[in-house]
Amino acid sequence: MDNLDLLNPQQKEAVTATEKQILVIAGAGSGKTKVLVSRTAWLIEQQHQDPRQLMAVTFTNKAANEMKERLERSTGIDSRWLWIGTFHSLCVRILRRENLSEGYDHNFTIYDTADQKALIKKCLADMGLASEERLYSPQLVLGRISDAKNRLLSVAEFATDATDQHQRNIAELYRRYQRRLRENNAFDFDDLLTETVWLLQRQPEALAKYQQMFKHILVDEYQDINHCQYRLISLLAGDEGNLFVVGDPDQSIYGWRGADISNILDFVKDYPDCREIQLNRNYRSTSTILTAANSLIANNNNRKPKDLFTEGNQGEPICFVLTEDDREEAFAVIRTVAALLDEGYQYSDCAVLYRTHGQSAAIERACMRFGIPYRVFGGIKFYERKEVKDTIAYLRLLVNPDDGESLQRIYNEPKRGIGKTTWDKLQQIALQRGENVGRLLAVADQFPELSGAAARKLKTLAALLDQLRGFVADTDSVAAIINELWQRTDYKALLDEKDSEKLVERLDILEQLYNTATTFDEDYQQMFVLSEEDWQPPLNVFLNQTALAMDSDGIGEGSDYLTLMTLHAAKGLEYPVIFIVGMEDGVFPHRRAIFSLGDNEMEEERRLCYVGITRARERLFLSAAKRRLTWGTYENNRLSRFISEIPQELLEISGVDKKRIERPVPVDSGGSVFVAGTVPRPTVTTTPTAAQLFMIGDKVRHGSWGDGVVVQVSGNGEDAMISVAFPGVGIKKLLVKYAPIKKI
């Protein structure tokens, strides 16, 4: 086993503790995996515990496999004997062994996301709701069902909570979906957990068997469990079971997907006789980085106080730079990476972290421009995103009507009733006639092989493309062309088929593409000095640049590359050098947290920043932009409040005077204002700001333009204004006082 002499005193205390329930608060980089493995090995070798009577639960297959491999090396035990795995994998083992609900047998199938979507579409068709995708998209419905299951709400309980027709329809879809799963002898991933909980609740003999079997239960990342997972562990452990949980409330960053931080904070209430042990020696970061992280997270109230420390060196100061705009910010990152290479670092030593997926676009463009190999970890590269590829395909068609590959991509995107059968027939006709398929759209009614309805839809597509080509001929603005394209094709309506998190992510990608076009429009004359003979329309040049960018998008397939990722994706990872970009209020912390009425969202944003900072081992670089493109318009943002929560003596600052870094001053309203120096008590106004009424991402309904999504909030009182993206209409600025709008 791992030698106890190699553990620090706190780690050794946790590994050898004899209390029945033990809570280990493991700070970032404190060796929690080593403690879990050593604890398991100690139970087997020193306490002579049967390995088959241990259950260790992790959140990822990677973590489970790491535990198994390290245990095999330290104890020589075949890991196949061990109950070590994710919640889902361990629940499958239980379900395969026990008497299942009526209609199920042990040969059940596990449905993935594609299977789930196909099944829910059948339920929508059965109820006559298939045509109402904006209200009942498969993703939205499945998201609501998943949330119900994570809260252990049965079909009947969920239906009881329904208060309007929309909710009642969702409840009925839940019922039909579960019935079809049962008919197919299938479970979805959420069912694996809920069915196990319900099985243990309705079969006391099975519960007693597993409580007797699992003498010790060990749980990793306890701060990330949801209600269903909490209930499962509580049942298996019982009141007197041996339960060893490891986690860190300061790294709880998944509240948006059901994780409940109260589970770890209330552990001592659930088990009053438990022993709490803190691991606060960090083996990863310099003392400068840890001091910054400790100071930041101390501003949260919902936590267990602890101070990470290290016996390592002080390290370099944290570099903070304020740039003129987001493009200069991206170039500053690349210049710094280049300087680090001269110091002996490699690209793979560095990672750039950002709050939202769309922020990668500026960094990616800078990497492409300077030939920096990179990869997007845990996500899709900007130019590989479906939203980007669809839009580019449309633009190519507007320039080149004979581009059959682009036409094939978008002929039914968004859905316009042109099925694959119709498309295949049209392609066959084109092949037989030796003509380009795009040229046949406008004359589709001349072919008897096509039905009248199919021909009309093809002609409608041809007319749409012709109208857009006419618009292209009348403008030099690529951004305007893209906006017109999205309006006329109703492409933004696709966003409504995603639930909240996915909706915001897709909006973010479209916004970054629009910003890219806006930047191109601004720079076109400066970037290209063209003779009259060399002149090309701006859209052609934009597509040329995009093609080169998409071609270079493949760089970074080797072993040495710069890593780009969201802060959420960075959890559990570490790098010698970390860059965190977009340190502005409204970007990070996210605007939704700023506009939130309670403190929970802001505290989770601060925990996310804490996670980002503690990914760095040696060097940490923070950056912000004085102005940032938002839907083609530059906005001036305040510096992130998180910058002011880091001791200024730890920062090496460029682009802004230290005295001008704004500090939070609390006000009676429960919010805060960000100003320099001493501030008089703010005047209380009875007129709400636009931000108090609406938030970015809110869905609203307009009397004339229908449903839309808020993409910008500005102004106060009589001047309060919001910008709303309406599918098929475009982005409209509305004066809140007079506009016929309401939240939906």
Helix (H) or strand (E) holding 243: strand 242-247
Q: Is 198 exposed, middle or buried (0-12, 13-18, 19+ CB in 10 A)?
A: middle
Instruction: Indicate if the pLDDT at residue 596 is higher than 80.
Output: no
Q: Tell me, what's the pLDDT at 43?
A: 93
Q: Tell me, what's the pLDDT at 396?
A: 87
The pLDDT tens digits of the residues spanning 298-320 come to 999 999 998 889 998 999 999 99
Over range 7-33, report the average pLDDT. Answer: 95
Q: How many residues in total does the chain contain?
A: 744
The pLDDT tens digits of the residues spanning 579-588 come to 999 999 999 9
In order of 508, 582, 590, the CA distances from 641 in angstroms are 22, 12, 11
Range in 195-199, 213-217, 367-371, 729-733 with the lowest mean pLDDT: 729-733
Q: Tell me, what's the pLDDT at 371?
A: 85
The pLDDT tens digits of the residues spanning 604-635 come to 999 999 999 999 999 999 999 998 988 778 88
Q: Tell me, what's the pLDDT at 498?
A: 40
Q: Ranked by mean pLDDT, which of 554-563, 568-577, 589-598 comes out on top?
A: 568-577
Q: Tell me, what's the pLDDT at 702?
A: 76
Over range 390-398, report the average pLDDT. Answer: 91
Instruction: Indicate if the pLDDT at residue 2 is higher than 90.
Output: no
The pLDDT tens digits of the residues spanning 55-82 come to 999 988 888 888 888 888 888 887 777 8
β-bridge mates for residue 25, sequence order: 247, 278
% pLDDT > 90, the chain:
47
Range in 287-291, 528-532, 728-732 with the lowest mean pLDDT: 528-532
The pLDDT tens digits of the residues spanning 655-693 come to 665 555 544 333 222 332 223 222 222 222 333 444 446
User: Which tokens sit at 588?
Assistant: 């990070």
Cα separation, 190 vs 18, in Å, equals 34
DSSP 311-341: SS---PPEEEEEEEEHHHHHHHHHHHHHHHH
**Catalytically annotated residues:** 32-33, 220-221, 251, 615
Instruction: Indicate if the pLDDT at residue 738 is higher than 90.
Output: no
Supply the mean pLDDT for the chain.
Answer: 84
Of the candidates 53, 52, 82, the one whose C-alpha atom is nearest the C-alpha of residue 67 is 82
DSSP 411-428: TTSS--S--HHHHHHHHH
The pLDDT tens digits of the residues spanning 78-99 come to 777 789 989 998 998 999 888 8
β-bridge mates for residue 279, sequence order: 26
Q: At what angle do helices 9-16 and 32-45 cross, to 10 degrees?
A: 40
Q: Are 296 and 642 in contact (CB under 8 A)?
A: yes
Q: Are 389 and 510 in contact (CB under 8 A)?
A: no
Q: Tell me, what's the pLDDT at 414?
A: 85
Residue 144 vs residue 404, higher pLDDT: 144
Residue 734 vs residue 419, higher pLDDT: 419
Range in 208-217, 446-455, 674-683 with the lowest mean pLDDT: 674-683
Q: Tell me, what's the pLDDT at 737?
A: 65
Over range 564-579, report the average pLDDT. Answer: 94
Of the candidates 680, 368, 722, 430, the one whose C-alpha atom is nearest the C-alpha of residue 555 is 368
Q: What 3-state class would DSSP assign to 743? A: strand
Q: What 3-state class would DSSP assign to 78? A: coil
- The band of 399, judged by pLDDT with boundaries at 50, 70 and 90, is confident
% pLDDT > 70, the chain:
87
- The band of 347, judged by pLDDT with boundaries at 50, 70 and 90, is very high
Q: What 3-state class would DSSP assign to 92? A: helix
Instruction: Indicate if the pLDDT at residue 553 is higher than 70.
Output: no
pTM: 0.77
Q: What 3-state class would DSSP assign to 620? A: strand
Q: Are 264 and 23 in contact (CB under 8 A)?
A: yes
Cα separation, 540 vs 534, in Å, equals 12
Helix (H) or strand (E) holding 612: helix 600-613
Q: What 3-state class would DSSP assign to 689? A: coil
Look up tokens 């870094």; give the residue.
Answer: 661
Residue 369 vs residue 355, higher pLDDT: 355
Range in 348-352, 426-430, 484-488, 525-529 with the lowest mean pLDDT: 525-529
Instruction: Indicate if the pLDDT at residue 292 is higher than 70.
Output: yes
User: Which tokens sit at 118?
Assistant: 């196909």
Q: Ranked by mean pLDDT, which of 131-135, 291-295, 401-405, 473-477 comes out on top?
A: 291-295
Cα separation, 625 vs 630, in Å, equals 13
